[in-house]
């Protein structure tokens, strides 16, 4: 027996990093950049007089591929530190120092990511406190060697990688420049790229919040450059440990499309995915944000969901709300414009928050029986006339024709958010009478027919009731608009409810309850006594013929109301039409043969 | 959120998916009873459409979830009669289709939803006189079988405690409590709602201090860590007026006028004025205080509304409301307001169009007596006179 140490299969670890931790192999560029930034920062802390931190990235083509060198004039590593920090996986120089929180490379696995690009890593380093430098060569098979360097090198670190084969094809000079420019866009330490095709500084960029003052056009331009689209307006975001902007998209956005943001941690680009940072409802907003204090995940491609993250999110939310409040007070024209571009996005907002509801509702638009109206117009109308809304688009289409000539307003609440918004109205606005339209509301639209006509139609109605009994549909005569509309079908209590009630209580529990025919129970076909065709139907006395006519009217009413016809009703429609045609062919002689239902 | 676990992207019918998504959006984050009372009609329209479409499309899981929601929303929005109707659908369709069409439903949340349905039906059946002792016994047997089958046995015993409190049957309540505590480790719903019956239980035992302590524990979040989430969602857990309402109601039902006096003076009176008229029971408290400041704007209108809505209410609900109003109008008369302008069916007015406060009190007393007698006849253990005397004693009449 004895004590042993765990052995590490380096190839296995690298595979784990590649398959499970990092989203892409190019992260080694960020890791190396991060290491250089951290080294420069460490040197600045250790040597307050050191001001000219610098990172150089070289790209050189070779016979069988290319070589990348990351060079910095940061704090470097001495021999002991090389053994400890480069060769022990999981040990980061940055984790054990008191200033750990200044560095984001704290997990000790960043350098390993270089094996995603190269089979060998060569590090030349000289610590600020040493005269001599060292060379460390690590290989993907897990072996490494350290030698003292004879020739003098400056204080700092160089990391050499050889890109060959497939890696060389993937990591072209162009790709590397673009990736480094993205990662390092906001870094304070200058990053110089020297390649075969180009030599340039990658991060000499205009960052508005670092300027003494910036005009909004410049800020919008900054956003356009970083995010690749034009914006309507910009909201400054500043708070504890964060700085940035929320850009309001100039075009309509969808809640389902993944919004691209730029989120930086201590000036290093982390992610485009803002879902944990930007409120869900803000899908019309793109953020450029630099945070100081959030905790990255091990891959440094996202953030740990903790209190700090929630705090940032709530600060962003507050900034956007305050912006809307300011607009409502000082720039209503802009608020209107914003609402018209992002009508749907803002509707999703107003259902979340009372303050936003009151801000925006007057400007939101809704389809109504009197055309598209704003919230303000609807509220004004409700002070004078009854206002109802449907929760279904088809219901709206059905009811609209009935409202011609009536003094009422119907709002189409069938689109997403609309019913939710309308049903909140009475809560936020006093004396607003806006109600959901239901089966009972039909009663207000249907008037009793003249007594004389009702008497004439009595026999017809009686036969009609028989004809539609198989469909559990009542028939009655009413007066409504518009006159050309022959009949109106109103779906009442669902069939399964009616069946349950008619069948009697199988359970035995509801005997004794007076649950019987409530208003609206059962479907109804209302024949329009204002319609000339309907008025003349009282002359028809042939019962079979009445049955056919009523069934045709019934099917027409269903189709007109955008109801779906099931197989049974389709069959009725076909047979009824056929019967009518036969009747016409026979010159008005009575029907023969089997009749539908 | 209603129908929270339904994944609309898996549905073949876009129409069905669309209406479910709209329902989900409309109810996202809404747990307060007032929301369901205000919007019950709208929500039920959508739920009925979902029931129809899902049955048509043979999306059985969705159908049964929507059936659960129909019972749930009906109950929360005060449409108690609709619960009775939908219960019938549930019995019939679960017998016809559940096992056949959803053979794996015991592995889904349908298992929990089924027992929640029984729990909701119980709460409504308990309060209707049409459910007599025989029916109640039959239902409790079905409920117990379901609870054992679906594994939420604690819910059944929670209900047994409630029944014991209503009947002043300490033995029944104690039996319920013992078995509730045996099975409550299974609880994954709101802790506060799942334990509120203890308020009534302690009052039934005569232990007002323990009832008060429990209420304070609820208010101060002194509940097991794993249930702290309920403070985000539950109105009873979050809102003082909701908690005070429950304990005052339990004080009446459990026959504890001392309890009522304590909670009314020490707690209800601390509510801000605008929260003191949230319900008929609170109006009763206002009357005890002599607060008739909003007589015309609120109190009388609420009395009228209660009478208009009685067709939708349970027997017990009508009874308690009527007892509250009976006391209210007697206290109103005592305060010197002898007549008021009110519209109540079958109640005669004076020549000046007003009605005597005492006449209104008798009107409500009659309604309460009628409901109480009916429930008393249906349930041998229900003691209406005790409830009535408790109310009178609370009012100091």
Q: What is the percentage of chain B residues whose pLDDT exceeds 70?
A: 100
- Give how far B58 is from chain A: nearest CA, Å: 14
Of the residues B125, B147, B169, the one at which a domain ends = B125
**b or e along A118-131 (b: 16 or more beta carbons within 10 Å of the residue's beta carbon)?**
bebbbbbbbbbeee
Asked if B84 lies within 8 A of A506 by C-beta distance, the reply is no
Task: Give CA–CA dist A342/A63, Å, rounded.
Answer: 55
Banded pLDDT at A497 (limits 50, 70, 90): low
Residue A99 has pLDDT above 50, yes or no: no
- Give how far A62 is from chain B: nearest CA, Å: 52
Asked if B84 lies within 8 A of A513 by C-beta distance, the reply is yes
Q: Looking at residue A17, what DSSP letter applies?
A: I
Helix (H, G, I), strand (E, B) or coil at B132: coil
pLDDT at A101: 39
Within 8 A of B41 by CB-CB distance, chain A residues are 436, 438
Give the strands of the sheet with A268-273, arranged side by side: A231-239, A242-249, A285-291, A260-265, A268-273
Banded pLDDT at B95 (limits 50, 70, 90): confident
Within 8 A of A508 by CB-CB distance, chain B residues are 135, 138
Q: Do residues B304 and B329 make contact, with C-beta atoms less than 8 angstroms apart?
A: no
Matching residue, tokens 């999306």:
B59
Within 8 A of A436 by CB-CB distance, chain B residues are 39, 41-42, 45
Banded pLDDT at B34 (limits 50, 70, 90): confident
B52: in domain: yes
Asked if A509 lies within 8 A of B38 by C-beta distance, the reply is no
Task: Give CA–CA dist B268/B282, Å, rounded.
Answer: 8
pLDDT at A88: 61
Asked if B92 lies within 8 A of A417 by C-beta distance, the reply is no
What integer is the mean pLDDT of A470-488? 90
What integer is the mean pLDDT of A467-483? 89
Residue B140 has pLDDT above 90, yes or no: yes
Among chain B residues, the shortest Cα distance to A510 is held by B84
Query: Encoding tokens for residue B33?
Result: 């009873």
Task: Give CA–CA dist A17/A25, Å, rounded.
Answer: 9
Mutation target among B45, B64, B90 for the A interface, most CBs of A within 10 A: B45
- The answer, for B1 touching chain A at a CB cutoff of 8 Å, is no
Of the residues B99, B125, B151, the one at which a domain ends = B125
pLDDT at A98: 43
Mean pLDDT lowest for which of A39-43, A128-132, B279-283, B312-316? Answer: A128-132
B184: in domain: no
The CA radius of gyration of chain A, in Å to the nearest whole number, is: 38
Nearest to A509 among B22, B48, B87 (CB): B87
Helix (H, G, I), strand (E, B) or coil at B130: coil
Q: Looking at residue A537, what DSSP letter applies?
A: G
The total number of structural domains in chain B stands at 2
| Closest C-alpha among A563, A407, A414, A387 to residue B42 | A414
Nearest to B39 among A423, A497, A506 (CB): A423
Mutation target among B8, B23, B26 for the A interface, most CBs of A within 10 A: B26
Task: Give CA–CA dist B227/A60, Å, rounded.
Answer: 61
- The answer, for B19 touching chain A at a CB cutoff of 8 Å, is yes
| Closest C-alpha among B80, B68, B15, B86 to residue A493 | B86
B193: in domain: no
Asked if A500 lies within 8 A of B88 by C-beta distance, the reply is yes
* A448: exposed, middle or buried (Cβ count in 10 Å: 0-12, 13-18, 19+): exposed
Q: Do residues A241 and A295 make contact, with C-beta atoms less than 8 angstroms apart?
A: no
pLDDT at A595: 37
Q: A271-280 — which CB contacts under 8 Å span 24+ positions?
A: A271/A301, A271/A302, A271/A303, A273/A302, A276/A302, A276/A303, A276/A305, A276/A309, A276/A313, A277/A303, A277/A309, A277/A312, A277/A313, A277/A316, A278/A246, A278/A313, A278/A316, A279/A313, A279/A316, A279/A317, A279/A320
Asked if B91 lies within 8 A of A506 by C-beta distance, the reply is yes
What integer is the mean pLDDT of A92-114? 53
- Beta-carbon contacts of residue A594 (< 8 Å; ≥ 6 apart): none
- Give how far B155 is from chain A: nearest CA, Å: 21
pLDDT at A14: 67
pLDDT at B358: 96
Cβ atoms within 10 A of the Cβ of A544, count?
Answer: 15
B66: in domain: yes
CB contacts < 8 A (A, B): 83
Cα distance from N-terminal residue to C-terminal residue, chain A? 91
- Give how far A567 is from chain B: nearest CA, Å: 12
Mutation target among A419, A439, A492, A567 for the B interface, most CBs of B within 10 A: A419
Average pLDDT, chain A: 83
Banded pLDDT at A107 (limits 50, 70, 90): very low
Asked if B88 lies within 8 A of A417 by C-beta distance, the reply is no
Asked if A392 lies within 8 A of B19 by C-beta distance, the reply is yes
Nearest to B46 among A391, A416, A515 (CB): A391
Task: Give CA–CA dist A223/A207, Å, rounded.
Answer: 10
Asked if B85 lies within 8 A of A423 by C-beta distance, the reply is no
Asked if A494 lies within 8 A of B48 by C-beta distance, the reply is yes
Among chain A residues, the shortest Cα distance to B137 is held by A509
What integer is the mean pLDDT of A454-471? 92
- The answer, for B52 touching chain A at a CB cutoff of 8 Å, is yes
Task: Give CA–CA dist A586/B113, Å, rounded.
Answer: 60
ipTM over 0.85: no
Of the residues B125, B160, B185, the one at which a domain ends = B125
Asked if B88 lies within 8 A of A510 by C-beta distance, the reply is yes
Which residue range forms the structural domain that includes residue B291? 276-397
Asked if A423 lies within 8 A of B38 by C-beta distance, the reply is yes
Query: Encoding tokens for residue B117?
Result: 């349905």
> Mind listing the domains of chain A with CATH numbers?
10-201 (3.30.565.10), 208-330 (3.30.230.80), 364-437 (3.40.50.11260), 451-505+518-585 (1.20.120.790)
- Give how far B51 is from chain A: nearest CA, Å: 9
- The answer, for B26 touching chain A at a CB cutoff of 8 Å, is yes
What integer is the mean pLDDT of A71-94? 75
Query: Encoding tokens for residue A282?
Result: 């803000």
pLDDT at A464: 95
Among chain A residues, the shortest Cα distance to B57 is held by A566
pLDDT at A293: 86
B136: in domain: no
Model confidence pTM above 0.90: no
pLDDT at A291: 94
B359: in domain: yes
pLDDT at A221: 92
User: B318 — alpha (psi -120 to 50), left (phi > 0) or beta?
Assistant: alpha
Q: Do residues A367 and A380 make contact, with C-beta atoms less than 8 angstroms apart?
A: no
Q: Looking at residue B129, what DSSP letter applies?
A: T
Task: Give CA–CA dist B89/B47, Å, rounded.
Answer: 14
Q: What is the DSSP string of A46-110?
A: H-TT-----EEEEEEEETTEEEEEEEE-S----HHHIIIIISSTT--TTTSSTTGGG-S--SS-T
Banded pLDDT at A112 (limits 50, 70, 90): confident
| Closest C-alpha among B256, B322, B314, B255 to residue B283 | B322
Banded pLDDT at A73 (limits 50, 70, 90): very high
Task: Give CA–CA dist A298/A301, Å, rounded.
Answer: 8
**Chain A residue set in contact with B, beta carbons under 8 Å:** 351-352, 391-392, 416-417, 419-420, 423, 426-427, 436, 438, 494-497, 500-501, 503, 505-513, 515
pLDDT at A596: 37
Task: Give CA–CA dist A173/A189, Å, rounded.
Answer: 21
- Beta-carbon contacts of residue B120 (< 8 Å; ≥ 6 apart): B71, B72, B75, B83
Asked if A507 lies within 8 A of B87 by C-beta distance, the reply is yes
Nearest to A509 among B38, B81, B131 (CB): B131
Among chain B residues, the shortest Cα distance to A508 is held by B135
Q: What is the DSSP string of A335-367?
A: HHHHHHHTHHHHHHHHTT-HHHHHHHGGG-EEE
Output the furthest CA–CA distance in chain B (Å, rounded).
69
Cα distance from N-terminal residue to C-terminal residue, chain B? 45
B11: in domain: yes
Per residue in B275-305, pLDDT tens?
888 889 999 999 999 999 999 888 999 999 9
Q: Do residues B319 and B372 make contact, with C-beta atoms less than 8 angstroms apart?
A: yes
Average pLDDT, chain B: 91
Q: What is the percentage of chain A residues whose pLDDT exceeds 90?
A: 32
Matching residue, tokens 């009935």:
A402
B333: in domain: yes
Nearest to A494 among B26, B51, B91 (CB): B51
pLDDT at B49: 87
Residue B186 has pLDDT above 60, yes or no: yes
Asked if A426 lies within 8 A of B139 by C-beta distance, the reply is no
Residue A369 has pLDDT above 50, yes or no: yes
Helix (H, G, I), strand (E, B) or coil at A412: strand
Within 8 A of B94 by CB-CB distance, chain A residues are none
């Amino acid at each position: 027996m004895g004590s042993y140490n765990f052995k590490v299969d380096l190839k296995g670890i690298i595979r784990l990093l590649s398959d499970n931790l990092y989203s892409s192999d190019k992260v080694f560029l960020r890791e190396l950049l991060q290491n250089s930034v951290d080294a420069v920062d460490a040197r600045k802390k250790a040597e307050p007089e050191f001001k000219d931190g610098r990172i150089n990235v070289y790209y050189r083509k070779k016979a069988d591929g290319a070589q990348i060198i990351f060079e910095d004039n940061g704090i470097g590593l001495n021999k002991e530190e090389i053994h400890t920090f480069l060769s022990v996986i999981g040990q980061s120089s940055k984790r054990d120092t008191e200033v750990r929180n200044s560095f984001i490379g704290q997990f000790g696995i960043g350098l390993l990511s270089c094996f995603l690009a190269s089979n060998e890593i060569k590090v030349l380093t000289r610590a600020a406190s040493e005269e001599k430098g060292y060379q460390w060569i690590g290989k993907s098979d897990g072996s490494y060697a350290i030698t003292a360097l004879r020739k003098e090198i400056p204080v700092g670190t160089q990391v050499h990688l050889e890109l060959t084969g497939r890696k060389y094809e993937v990591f072209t000079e162009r790709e590397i420049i673009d990736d480094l420019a993205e990662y390092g866009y906001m870094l304070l330490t200058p990053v110089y790229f020297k390649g075969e095709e180009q030599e340039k500084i990658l991060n000499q960029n205009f960052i508005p919040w670092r300027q003494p003052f910036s005009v909004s056009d410049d800020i919008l331009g900054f956003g356009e450059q970083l995010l690749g689209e034009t914006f309507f307006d910009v909201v400054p975001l500043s708070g504890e440990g964060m700085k940035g902007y929320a850009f309001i998209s100039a075009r309509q956005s969808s809640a389902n499309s993944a919004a691209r943001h730029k989120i930086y941690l201590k000036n290093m680009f982390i992610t485009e995915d803002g879902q944990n940072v930007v409120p869900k409802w803000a899908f019309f907003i793109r953020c450029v944000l630099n945070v100081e204090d959030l905790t990255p995940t091990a891959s440094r491609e996202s953030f740990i969901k903790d209190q700090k993250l929630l705090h940032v999110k709530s600060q962003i939310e507050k900034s956007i709300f305050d912006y809307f409040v300011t607009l409502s007070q000082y720039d209503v024209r802009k608020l209107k414009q914003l609402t018209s571009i992002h009508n749907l996005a803002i509707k999703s907002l107003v259902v979340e928050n009372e303050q936003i509801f009151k801000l925006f509702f007057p400007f939101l638009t809704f389809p109504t029986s009197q055309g598209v109206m704003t919230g303000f117009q609807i509220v004004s109308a409700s002070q004078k006339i009854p206002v109802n809304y449907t929760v279904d688009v088809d219901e709206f289409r059905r009811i609209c024709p009935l409202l011609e000539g009536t003094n009422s307003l119907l709002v189409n609440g069938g689109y997403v958010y609309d019913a939710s918004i309308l049903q909140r109205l009475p809560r936020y606005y006093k004396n607003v009478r806006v109600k959901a339209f239901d089966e009972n509301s039909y009663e207000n639209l249907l008037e009793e027919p003249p007594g004389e006509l009702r008497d004439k139609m009595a026999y017809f109605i009686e036969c009609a009731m028989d004809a539609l009994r198989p469909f559990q549909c009542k028939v009655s005569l009413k007066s409504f608009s518009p006159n050309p509309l022959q009949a109106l079908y109103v779906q009442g209590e669902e069939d399964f409810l009616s069946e349950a009630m008619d069948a009697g209580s199988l359970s035995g529990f509801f005997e004794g309850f007076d649950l019987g025919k409530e208003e609206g129970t059962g479907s109804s076909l209302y024949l329009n006594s204002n319609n000339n065709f309907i008025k003349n139907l009282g002359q028809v006395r042939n019962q079979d013929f009445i049955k056919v006519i009523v069934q045709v009217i019934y099917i027409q009413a269903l189709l007109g109301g955008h109801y779906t016809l099931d197989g049974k009703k389709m069959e009725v429609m076909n047979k009824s039409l056929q019967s009518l045609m036969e009747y016409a062919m026979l010159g008005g002689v009575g029907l023969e043969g089997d009749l539908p239902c | 959120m209603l129908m929270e676990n339904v994944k609309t992207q898996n549905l073949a019918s876009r129409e069905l998916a669309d209406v479910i998504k709209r329902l989900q959006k409309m109810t996202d984050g809404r747990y307060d009873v007032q929301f369901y009372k205000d919007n019950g009609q709208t929500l039920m329209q959508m739920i009925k459409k979902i029931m129809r479409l899902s049955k048509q499309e043979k999306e059985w899981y969705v159908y049964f979830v929507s059936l659960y929601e129909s019972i749930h929303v009906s109950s929360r929005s005060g449409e108690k009669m609709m619960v009775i109707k939908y219960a019938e659908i549930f019995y019939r369709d679960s017998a016809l289709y559940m096992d056949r069409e959803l053979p794996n439903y015991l592995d889904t949340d349908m298992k929990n939803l089924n027992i929640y349905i029984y729990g909701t039906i119980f709460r409504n059946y308990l309060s209707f006189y049409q459910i007599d002792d025989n029916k109640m016994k039959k239902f409790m047997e079905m409920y117990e079988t379901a609870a054992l089958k679906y594994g939420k046995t604690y819910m059944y015993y929670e209900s047994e405690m409630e029944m014991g409190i209503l009947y002043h049957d300490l033995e029944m309540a104690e039996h319920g409590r013992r078995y509730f505590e045996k099975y409550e480790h299974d609880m994954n719903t709101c802790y506060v709602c799942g334990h509120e019956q203890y308020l009534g239980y302690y009052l039934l035992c005569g232990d007002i201090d323990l009832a008060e302590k429990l209420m304070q524990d609820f208010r101060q979040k002194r509940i097991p860590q794993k249930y702290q989430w309920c403070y985000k969602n539950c109105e009873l857990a979050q809102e003082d007026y909701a908690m005070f309402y429950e304990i005052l109601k339990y004080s009446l039902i459990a026959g504890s006028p001392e309890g009522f006096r304590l909670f009314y003076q020490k707690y209800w009176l601390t509510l801000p004025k605008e929260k003191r008229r949230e319900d008929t029971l609170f109006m009763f408290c206002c009357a005890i205080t002599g607060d008739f400041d909003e007589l015309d704007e609120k109190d009388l209108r609420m009395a009228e509304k209660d009478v208009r809505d009685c067709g939708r209410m349970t027997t017990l609900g009508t009874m308690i409301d009527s007892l509250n109003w009976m006391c209210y109008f007697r206290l109103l008369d005592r305060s010197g307001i002898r007549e008021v302008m009110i519209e109540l069916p079958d109640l005669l007015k004076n020549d000046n169009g007003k009605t005597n406060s005492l006449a209104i009190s008798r009107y409500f007393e009659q309604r309460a007596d009628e409901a109480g007698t009916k429930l008393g006849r249906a349930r041998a253990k229900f003691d209406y006179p005790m409830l009535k005397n408790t109310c009178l004693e609370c009012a100091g009449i």
